[in-house]
Amino acid sequence: VLQKSVSTLGFHRSLSYSVVAHNVSGTICLLIEENLPPDIFVDPYQLANELKSGLIQIDNSESINTENPAHRAKALKFKALLKSQDNIHYKLDLPIHLRYQKPHSCAIFGDKVWISLDLSNLYFNEAPAGISSNGVCSIKATSWKHLDAETREVKLELPVGCVEHFYIVFGITLCFILVGSLVFYSQLLNIVT
């Protein structure tokens, strides 16, 4: 059984995977393949050690723009090895980031959006007893076998800006800019005189 969950709230969250393997002889390795929607991204700089050691592989990681809002971003695919201390329980915690959503009419659509994470693909590779698992437990290994695992869809709730608030936000921002500018210039005049 593959369990997938998301913890914490806000735009920076943790995506957790947990698998329990039963009736296993020898060493097995588990690999998760995940397709993230454009609303979610993983930061390659934050995962630099995992990427360098080969525990995580992100397709087109160089093209990830962490500043893009969701409507300008592309979907992302990554593969990650799950670690185990006892060859039974496998875990992976991955920091994810949610992108800002395009503002819409909250009177019609509400002030929150739901983001769905598709079902993950789970693969396994087995090293027979007594044989080193170094080559078997590599993302680049070619002998990964798909494993049908029970899992459920994960949905995330995210706040979104309301276009109805535009004039209020614009007015408050303009007031702060004007007041800040006046204070700055008055202080500047006091220094000069």
pLDDT at residue number 165: 93
Q: Is the Cβ–Cβ distance between 43 and 78 less than 8 Å?
A: no
Q: Is the Cβ–Cβ distance between 34 and 77 less than 8 Å?
A: yes
User: Is a pLDDT exceeding 70 seen at residue 135?
Assistant: no
Q: Is the Cβ–Cβ distance between 7 and 16 less than 8 Å?
A: yes
Q: Is the Cβ–Cβ distance between 34 and 58 less than 8 Å?
A: no
> Which residues, including other chains, have CB under 8 Å from residue 6's CB and lie 6 or more apart?
13, 14, 15, 16, 96, 117, 154, 156
pLDDT digits (tens, 9 = 90+) for 4-19: 999 888 899 999 999 8
Query: What does the mean pLDDT of the chain come to?
Result: 86
**β-pair type (121-127, 76-84):** unpaired
pLDDT digits (tens, 9 = 90+) for 69-81: 999 999 989 899 8
Residue in 55, 61, 17 with CA at minimum distance from that of residue 42: 61
| Domain-wise residue ranges, the chain | 2-161, 162-192
pLDDT at residue number 124: 87
Looking at mean pLDDT, say which of 27-31, 120-124, 175-179, 185-189 comes out highest. Answer: 175-179
How does residue 84 score in pLDDT terms, banded at 50, 70 and 90? confident
pLDDT digits (tens, 9 = 90+) for 29-64: 888 999 999 999 988 888 888 888 888 888 776 678
- Which has more confidence, 133 or 148? 148
Residue 175 and residue 100: Cα distance in Å, rounded?
25
Which one-letter amino acid corresponds to residue 57?
Q
Domain 2-161 has CATH 2.60.40: yes
